[in-house]
Amino acid sequence: MREKIIIALDVESEEAALSLVAQLHDLAGAFKIGLQLYSRYGPAIVCKVNAAGGKVFLDLKFHDIPNTVARAAEAAVETGVWMFNVHAAGGKKMLREAVLAAVRQAGKLGVPAPLLLGVTVLTSMSEAELHKETGVSRALPEQVTALAVLCREAGLDGVVAAGPEVPSIRRACGLDFLIVTPGVRPAWAVPNDQQRVITPGEALALGADYIVIGRPVTAAPDPRAAAELLFKEAGKGKLC
Ligand code: C5P
């Protein structure tokens, strides 16, 4: 169960991030480093979290021309990440180049290739915005599933997806395709700005392989106690 929980290190400082890693590294499966922490501290923060005993999901959502994304993927591999991601909307050529570059670089370094995930449609985007602002005419759930299939065809290991999208992705992409689900809230936690929240147990019961959780643990007065409670609830693994 613990391997399935990824803690989002959305904090202001390196000290705060490393303090959370020290408190939680034996409990959590991995730690997610996003744009906030990476933009401030760079690749060094990945190395420091690794050195403190935490695996890293580098959530930088690369989206650029294939060559640029491939070179960024190589750099991500060099930092020793366990998992990283790219935007599926970059297209098949970009996705494929990212996979090939990561595998090639890992081979050169003699390390396992990190897991590579695609981001489909950001959960902050509404269906109306998707149609009006990006010109996508497909319904949002169809768009998500189509992009997940594209990721699968390009050789990615999986996608990041909200809870409600998990079953249709699972049906379309099969059992060995990873689904990482953020936006989960234990029954005792406040939703913050997350809209369509489900519990960790629900997310896992719907078929998510990993769940990402931040503030209910990282902003708790006692993050370790909050994490323990979370694992207990997620371990029930049933819809409630
Ligand atoms: O604090 P909270 O549990 O809401 O943190 C969720 C984390 O997952 C944040 O780092 C957020 O950026 C990320 N995320 C998300 N929804 C997505 C993709 C990533 O909440 N669709």
71 close to ligand 1 (CB < 6 Angstrom): no
Give yes or no for a contact between 200 and 211, defined as CB atoms under 8 angstroms apart: yes
pLDDT in tens, 92-138: 999 999 999 999 999 999 999 999 999 999 988 899 999 999 999 99
Q: Which ligand 1 atom lies nearest to the CA of residue 219?
A: 1
Report the amino acid identity of residue 225: A
Distance in angstroms (rounded) separating the CA atoms of residues 106 and 89: 25
157 close to ligand 1 (CB < 6 Angstrom): no
The answer to whether 61 is a known catalytic residue is: yes
80 close to ligand 1 (CB < 6 Angstrom): no
Distance in angstroms (rounded) separating the CA atoms of residues 153 and 177: 11
The larger pLDDT score, comparing residue 239 to residue 61, is at 61
Q: Is the pLDDT of residue 240 over 60?
A: no
pLDDT at 194: 74
Give yes or no for a contact between 71 and 98, defined as CB atoms under 8 angstroms apart: no
Domain ranges of the chain: 2-233
Q: What is the mean pLDDT of the chain?
A: 94
Q: Which ligand 1 atom lies nearest to the CA of residue 32?
A: 10
Going by alpha carbons, the residue nearest to atom 18 of ligand 1 is: 182
Q: Classify 2-233 by CATH class.
A: alpha beta
Give yes or no for a contact between 25 and 53, defined as CB atoms under 8 angstroms apart: yes
Task: Tell me the whole-structure pTM to 2 decimals.
Answer: 0.94
Mean pLDDT of 50-61: 97
pLDDT tier at 193, thresholds 50, 70, 90? confident
State in Å: Cα 124 to ligand 1 middle. 10
Q: Which of 32, 61, 92, 132 is labelled catalytic? A: 61
192 close to ligand 1 (CB < 6 Angstrom): yes
